[in-house]
Amino acid sequence: VITVVGAGRVGSAAALDIVLRRLDDVLLLDIVEGLPQGEALDLGHAASSYGIDVEITGSNDYRDMAGSDIVVVTAGVPRRPGMTRLDLLQRNAEIVRQISSRIVEYAPKSKLLMVTNPLDAMTYLALKATGFPPKRVFGMGSILDSARFRYFLSKRLGVSRSSIQALVIGEHGENMLPLLSHTSVSGVPLPEIVSTDGVKGTVEETRGTAAEVIRLKGGTVYAPAAGVGEIVEAVVKDRKAVFPISAYLDGEYGVRGVCIGVPAVLGREGIERIVELQLVDEEMAVFMRGVEALKKVVSKLEISQ
Ligand code: 2OP
Which atom of ligand 1 is closest in space to residue 148's alpha carbon? 2
- Pocket test of ligand 1: the residue of 143, 172, 228 to mutate, having most ligand atoms within 8 Å of its CB, is 172
Residue 206 pLDDT > 70: yes
* Average pLDDT for the chain: 95
The structure's pTM equals 0.96
- Backbone φ and ψ for 37, nearest 5 degrees, come out as -65, -40
Distance in Å from the first CA to the final CA of the chain = 31
CA dihedral 167, 170, 172, 176 (to 10 degrees): -70
- The answer to whether the CB of 220 is under 6 A from ligand 1 is yes
Mutate to test the pocket of ligand 1, among 73, 79, 205 (most ligand atoms within 8 A of CB): 79
* Residue 229, φ and ψ in degrees, nearest 5: -60, -40
Dump pLDDT digits (tens) for 144-191: 999 999 999 999 999 999 999 999 999 999 999 999 999 999 999 998
| pLDDT at residue 173, as a whole number | 93
Ranges 52-61, 76-85, 233-242, 255-264: which has the least confidence: 76-85
User: Does residue 297 surpass a pLDDT of 70?
Assistant: yes
Pairwise CA distance, residues 12 & 222, whole Å: 10
The string of pLDDT tens digits covering residues 99-139 is 999 999 999 999 999 999 999 999 999 999 999 999 999 99
Rounded Cα distance, 72 and 269, in Å: 15
pLDDT above 90 as % of the chain = 90
Query: Is 210 touching ligand 1 by the criterion CB < 6 Å?
Result: yes
Which pLDDT value is given to residue 304?
Answer: 60
Say if ligand 1 is within 6 A of residue 12 CB: no
Q: What is the pLDDT of residue 302?
A: 72
Q: How far is the CA of 51 from the centre of ligand 1 (A)?
A: 31
Q: Whose CA is closest to atom 1 on ligand 1?
A: 210
User: Looking at the predicted structure, is the pLDDT value of residue 226 above 80?
Assistant: yes
Q: How far is CA 296 from CA 157, 249, 257, in A?
A: 38, 16, 12
- Whether the CB of 146 sits within 6 Å of ligand 1: no
In this prediction, residue 65 carries a pLDDT of 97
Question: Which amino acid, one-letter code, is at 147?
Answer: A
- Closest atom of ligand 1 relative to the 173 alpha carbon: 4
